[in-house]
Structures are given as structure tokens and as C-alpha cells.
């Protein structure tokens, strides 16, 4: 599997769990607010990637005190050998949380059906009418809808999240996104971090202060991505 980054320990990316994060290399979106630009290209030079075997060895050595592994990116579901990697992780007795943009529902369906995932966090980038602009791509809206349905109708713990970029999204947009989800669904609005945004014009944008919860619907969870 193409791996572009690895963090041995996180206490925030898999709530309630001590976990490691594996950042896969390559993404099918080009979100202007993305702060992981180095992970977007699928053809990153081999010398700049992290060896899968070394990552697995590191996880194996820490398995006794870790609860799980977060697969993030990039977009993990575009990795051809994602399932094989997850199977190796699960043999260590570790849980697996997947972060995804929901663009490949068939992969998600197979993983959920095979009980390979313990938690899923899906980004809903924007109202469907704004998806192309917010993803920098011709977004597969029907695939996004299908992934949402798979998660809300399934048994695997899941949540949805949107990065709130004040210059790109409005409170009305957040309300529309929320309307795509059943009332009981966990939905998180993440604070936009301007540093290293893919679109350099956003790097000087004003970030929404964490205490300005009055600027977004009060019934939503508020989460800082730091």
C-alpha cells in the first residue's frame, strides 16, 4: 500500500482510543482547503514514501498498548491493497477506523460487509450543488449519496464531518448538509486551519475562532481539527 505518512500515537483522531495513524498516498479530490497537499499525488517518488513493512513492524511492536489504527490520507479507498493491509492490522488485535471522502461506495460496502472496520468518519465536503468547487474535481455525487446511505443504515459506528471554510461555505450550506443525515447521526463541523491550504489564496483567510459557535447551527458538534 502506498503510505505517505505515519504517526505513531494520537489521542484525538479515534476518540476514546489510543491509536496510530497511517496516511495513505494519493487522493481523487483536490479540495482547495486541504492541508495535506503532499499526500495528494499518487505518483509520489518511491524514495519519499514510507515502507509498508516498516509501518506494520511499528504497529506490531506497539500493539500491546494501542487500541487501534486510523487509516487516513489522501483517500484510503483508492488503494488497491487496502483490504490486505487492514487484514494484517486486524491480526494484531487492533481496531481499524477509516477516514474517507465517500467517493468509492463499493469499497466501503465490501469492508463493512466483511466486518473489517470498527469505525468510519466520512467527510461531506459541501452541499451537493457545490461539490465540484469544494473538491476541485468532477465529484461523483451519486457515489457520495450511496456511501452516506451505507453508513447511516449500517451497524458500524460512524460519523460525518465538514470543514467549515468561511469564504466557501455558509450557515445555510451547513444546514443543507445536515438535512442529508438522519436526526440521530453524529455530524461534526471542523474548524478550518488556513496554514498550508492547497489553494494559497486561502492561507491568509480568516479562520473561524473556536468560540464562535454562534456562527454555525447550535445543534451541531464543534470540533477543532488540531
Per DSSP, the chain holds a count of helices (H) and strands (E) of 6, 8
* pLDDT 10s digits, 60-97: 999 999 999 999 999 999 999 999 999 999 999 999 99
63 Cβ contact partners less than 8 Å away, ≥ 6 residues apart:
92, 93, 94
- pTM, entire model: 0.90
- 89-98 burial, b at 16+ Cβ within 10 Å, e below that, comes to bbebebbbbb
**What integer pLDDT is reported at residue 201 of this predicted model?**
86
CATH of the domain at 182: 3.20.20.70
**Is pLDDT larger for residue 205 or for residue 204?**
204
* Report for 115-119, 166-170, 213-217: range of highest mean pLDDT: 115-119
**What integer pLDDT is reported at residue 52 of this predicted model?**
96
pLDDT band at 212 (very low <50, low <70, confident <90, very high): very low
Domain boundaries, position 100: 3-223
Contact assessment for residue 44 and residue 4, using Cβ atoms and an 8 Å cutoff: yes
Q: For the chain, what is the domain count? A: 1
**What integer pLDDT is reported at residue 112 of this predicted model?**
97
Share of the chain above pLDDT 70, in %: 89
Q: How far apart are CA 110 and CA 99, in angstroms?
A: 15
pLDDT band at 205 (very low <50, low <70, confident <90, very high): low
* Report for 16-30, 43-57, 187-201: range of highest mean pLDDT: 16-30
**What integer pLDDT is reported at residue 22 of this predicted model?**
98
Q: What is the dihedral of CA 206, 207, 212, 216, to 10 degrees?
A: 100
Contact assessment for residue 59 and residue 86, using Cβ atoms and an 8 Å cutoff: no
Indicate whether 117 pLDDT > 90: yes
Amino acid at each position: 500500500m502506498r503510505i505517505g505518512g505515519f504517526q505513531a500515537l494520537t489521542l484525538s483522531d479515534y476518540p476514546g482510543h489510543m491509536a496510530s495513524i497511517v496516511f495513505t498516498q494519493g487522493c481523487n479530490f483536490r479540495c482547495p482547503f486541504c492541508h495535506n497537499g503532499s499526500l495528494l499525488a499518487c505518483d509520489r517518488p518511491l524514495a519519499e514514501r514510507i515502507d509498508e513493512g516498516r509501518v506494520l513492524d511499528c504497529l506490531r511492536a506497539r500493539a500491546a498498548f494501542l487500541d487501534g489504527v486510523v487509516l487516513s490520507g489522501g483517500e484510503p479507498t483508492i488503494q488497491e491493497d487496502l483490504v490486505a493491509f487492514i487484514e494484517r492490522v486486524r491480526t494484531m488485535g487492533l481496531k481499524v477506523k477509516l477516514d474517507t471522502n465517500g467517493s468509492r461506495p463499493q469499497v466501503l460496502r465490501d469492508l463493512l460487509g466483511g466486518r473489517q472496520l470498527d469505525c468510519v468518519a466520512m467527510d461531506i465536503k459541501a452541499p451537493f450543488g457545490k461539490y465540484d468547487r469544494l473538491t476541485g474535481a468532477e465529484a461523483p455525487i451519486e457515489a457520495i449519496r450511496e456511501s452516506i446511505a451505507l453508513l447511516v443504515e449500517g451497524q458500524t459506528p460512524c460519523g460525518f464531518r465538514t470543514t467549515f471554510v468561511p469564504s466557501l461555505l455558509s450557515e445555510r450550506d451547513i444546514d443543507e448538509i445536515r438535512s442529508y443525515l438522519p436526526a440521530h447521526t453524529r455530524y461534526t463541523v471542523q474548524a478550518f486551519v488556513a496554514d498550508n491550504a492547497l489553494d494559497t489564496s486561502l492561507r491568509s483567510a480568516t479562520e473561524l475562532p473556536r468560540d464562535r459557535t454562534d456562527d454555525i447551527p447550535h445543534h451541531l458538534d464543534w470540533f477543532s481539527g488540531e
